[in-house]
């Protein structure tokens, strides 16, 4: 219906736009300010509740305030509190608020950044972010490039497709990939999505510190060559999810490059520790990678949906993803300007660069570095405090900010349930050498020493050990 009266609800006026944001903002601020006192997880009965929400396509509107109330009072609380300080589970993603503001701006102006011609300055701004990441890792400035993805999984996929195109013929099914048996499962999944049978991914045994065994890697490559396969990619882990183990990246780089194989690094959790001196020592060799995945939504504290792929030779990334259509504008030929659609499976997408660019420009990199330094300090406090509890054994020493422990006498499943029942921290398990162990992962920008004290108190309490007296980690708070 065409009408001259202003009755387009999808085009709010200035007053209405302000009301929408202000009402949401009031609830957002309450929510974020109360994160430390919210339970670390609150999911009892949440799946049953979720089923009650199934409903048909709404034919009529609802009141905005009621929808916000429902969201903030009923839906958001029934979750793992993944943004809160007690979330020491999986890999936390704190979600800095400045990025949320950037997302509001990006979505509201809704510029198109899939092709350079549509918004060259904004595309360049996102390209700068990629360049900064390459600088953090130490990739060569002139040849490297990359793209922001929705996360590490898609970055893994894009990396494997790039390596496949660079190293293998069109008929690539004899190609084999190598990783440790500790690698994140998104690697095998990405290989499968890239067209390889699962059997072509060789999971190499790891050593006592959960690092890929180099002798076993070399043997597997030789065995496959002899058997007529075409080894083409070796993946190292810059921090595994289960135990935080860091492979000997320098040694793996040498093994791969001596045999002209592609060296890929999974840095989804660990790569940003390159911002710290301790991290640089641990991750030595990462700069030799042909491709690296990073997750700003983990160790740069950004909201979920922010991953990155870096490639040593950006031309190879482009060669694997370029395609043409006569309805698209001319793509850039100059090396300085990029069309993101030529570097990834995506064409239209969100302007995710702004959510990285805004906080980095606003603060510079220093507060991010300090956060990671603090996390490296905190895991030491956690490690020493746990090791001092009677019966607890550290199964995986922290290399970055993940450790794993077990109780030598108690049932560790029950112990984990008892720790989590206090809801001040949330921990998750890992299976290590076939054994159930408990993991601590400290990554959130909201996690500080007071929360690690709570962790130690709660573990101590759950084991039945008496609270720490005049000594032990508690005095650290004084």
Ligand X SMILES: *Cc1c(COP(=O)(O)O)cnc(C)c1O
Member of 85, 86, 231, 307 binding ligand X (CB under 6 A): 307
Min dist CB 243 to ligand X, Å, is 11
Q: Which is nearer to ligand X, 41 or 153 (CB)?
A: 153
DSSP state of 465: P
**Site map 31..70 versus ligand X, x via CB under 6 A:** ----------------------------------------
Member of 82, 88, 89, 91 binding ligand X (CB under 6 A): 91
Whole-angstrom Cα distance, residue 221 to residue 171?
20
**Residue 203, class by beta-carbon neighbours within 10 Å (0-12 exposed, 13-18 middle, 19+ buried)?**
middle
Min dist CB 222 to ligand X, Å, is 28
- Residue 463 in contact with ligand X, rule: CB under 6 A: no
For the chain, counts of helices (H) and of strands (E): 16, 11
What is the total residue count of the chain? 478
Per DSSP, which regions of 268-365 are E strands? 291-294, 307-311
Member of 248, 290, 295, 458 binding ligand X (CB under 6 A): 295
- Measured at the CA of 214, the angle between CA 213 and CA 220, to 5 degrees, comes to 95
Segment interacting with ligand X, rule: CB under 6 A, options 161-169, 252-260, 262-270, 441-449: 262-270
Residue 33 CB contacts under 8 Å (≥ 6 apart), including other chains:
none
Kind of pairing between the strands at 230-237 and 262-267: parallel
Q: Which is nearer to ligand X, 82 or 91 (CB)?
A: 91
- CA–chain centroid gap for 240, Å, is 12
C-alpha distances in Å from residue 305, one per residue of 52, 68, 99, 350:
27, 23, 11, 10
- Residue 457 in contact with ligand X, rule: CB under 6 A: no
DSSP secondary structure letters along 155-193: HHHHHHHHHHHHHS-SS-TTEEEEEETTS-HHHHHHHHH
Residue 17 CB contacts under 8 Å (≥ 6 apart), including other chains:
none
Q: Which is nearer to ligand X, 187 or 196 (CB)?
A: 187
- Residue 103 in contact with ligand X, rule: CB under 6 A: no
Number of neighbouring beta carbons within 10 Å of residue 133: 25
Tokens of 225: 């060559």
- Evaluated on CA atoms 390, 394, 397, 398, the torsion sign reads negative
- Residue 184 in contact with ligand X, rule: CB under 6 A: yes
- How many positions of this chain bind ligand X (CB under 6 A)? 12
- Residue 180 in contact with ligand X, rule: CB under 6 A: no
Site for ligand X in 132-151 (CB under 6 A): 151
Q: Which is nearer to ligand X, 403 or 462 (CB)?
A: 403
- Residue 269 in contact with ligand X, rule: CB under 6 A: yes
Whole-angstrom Cα distance, residue 317 to residue 355?
23
- Residue 88 in contact with ligand X, rule: CB under 6 A: no
Q: Which is nearer to ligand X, 276 or 299 (CB)?
A: 299
- Residue 399 in contact with ligand X, rule: CB under 6 A: no
Return the residue nearest ligand X (CB atom). 152
Min dist CB 34 to ligand X, Å, is 27
Min dist CB 17 to ligand X, Å, is 32
Min dist CB 159 to ligand X, Å, is 11
Q: Which is nearer to ligand X, 151 or 236 (CB)?
A: 151
Site for ligand X in 200-259 (CB under 6 A): 241
Q: Which is nearer to ligand X, 295 or 453 (CB)?
A: 295
Segment interacting with ligand X, rule: CB under 6 A, options 4-12, 125-133, 265-273, 444-452: 265-273
C-alpha distances in Å from residue 29, one per residue of 35, 80, 301:
10, 19, 18
The residue ranges that bind ligand X (CB under 6 A) are 91, 151-153, 184, 186, 241, 266, 268-269, 295, 307
């Amino acid at each position: 219906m065409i009408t001259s009266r202003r009755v387009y609800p999808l085009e709010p006026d200035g007053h209405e736009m302000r009301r929408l944001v202000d009402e949401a903002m009031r609830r957002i601020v309450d929510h974020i300010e109360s994160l430390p006192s919210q339970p670390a997880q609150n999911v009892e009965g949440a799946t049953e509740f979720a089923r009650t929400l199934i409903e048909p396509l709404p034919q009529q509107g609802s009141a905005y305030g009621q929808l916000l109330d429902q969201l903030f009072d009923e839906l958001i609380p029934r979750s793992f509190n993944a943004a809160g300080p007690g979330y020491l589970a999986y890999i936390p993603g704190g979600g800095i608020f400045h990025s949320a503001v950037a997302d509001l701006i990006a979505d509201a102006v809704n510029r198109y950044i899939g092709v350079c011609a549509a918004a060259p300055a904004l595309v360049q701004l996102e390209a700068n972010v990629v360049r900064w990441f390459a600088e953090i890792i130490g990739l060569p400035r002139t040849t490297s490039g990359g793209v922001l993805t929705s996360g590490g999984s898609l970055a893994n996929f894009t990396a494997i497709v790039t390596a496949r195109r660079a190293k293998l013929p069109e008929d690539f099914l004899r190609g084999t990939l190598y990783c440790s048996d500790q690698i994140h499962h998104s690697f095998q999944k990405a290989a499968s999505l890239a067209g390889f049978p699962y059997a072509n991914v060789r999971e190499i045994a790891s050593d006592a510190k959960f690092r890929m065994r180099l002798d076993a890697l070399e043997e597997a490559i030789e065995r496959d060559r002899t058997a007529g396969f075409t080894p083409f990619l070796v993946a190292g882990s810059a921090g595994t999810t289960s135990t935080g183990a860091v492979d000997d990246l320098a040694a793996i780089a040498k093994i791969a490059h001596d045999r002209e194989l592609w060296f890929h690094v999974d840095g989804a959790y660990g790569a940003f520790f390159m911002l710290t001196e301790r991290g640089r020592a641990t991750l030595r060799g990462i700069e030799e990678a042909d491709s690296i995945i990073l997750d700003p939504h983990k160790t740069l504290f950004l909201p979920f949906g922010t991953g990155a792929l870096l490639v040593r030779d950006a031309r190879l990334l482009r060669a694997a993803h370029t395609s043409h259509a006569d309805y698209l504008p001319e793509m850039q030929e100059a090396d300085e300007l990029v069309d993101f659609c030529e570097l990834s499976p995506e064409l239209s997408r969100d302007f995710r660069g702004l959510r990285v660019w805004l906080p980095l420009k606003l603060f510079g990199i220093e507060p991010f570095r300090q956060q990671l330094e603090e996390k490296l300090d905190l895991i030491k406090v956690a490690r020493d405090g746990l090791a001092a509890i009677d019966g607890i054994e550290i199964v995986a020493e922290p290399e970055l900010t993940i450790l794993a422990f077990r109780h030598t006498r108690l049932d560790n499943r029950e112990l984990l349930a008892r720790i989590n029942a206090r809801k001040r921290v949330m921990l998750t398990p890992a299976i290590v050498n076939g054994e159930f162990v408990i993991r601590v992962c400290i990554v959130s920008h909201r996690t500080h020493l007071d929360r690690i004290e709570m962790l130690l108190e709660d573990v101590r309490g759950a084991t039945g050990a008496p609270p720490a007296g005049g000594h032990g980690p508690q005095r650290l708070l004084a």
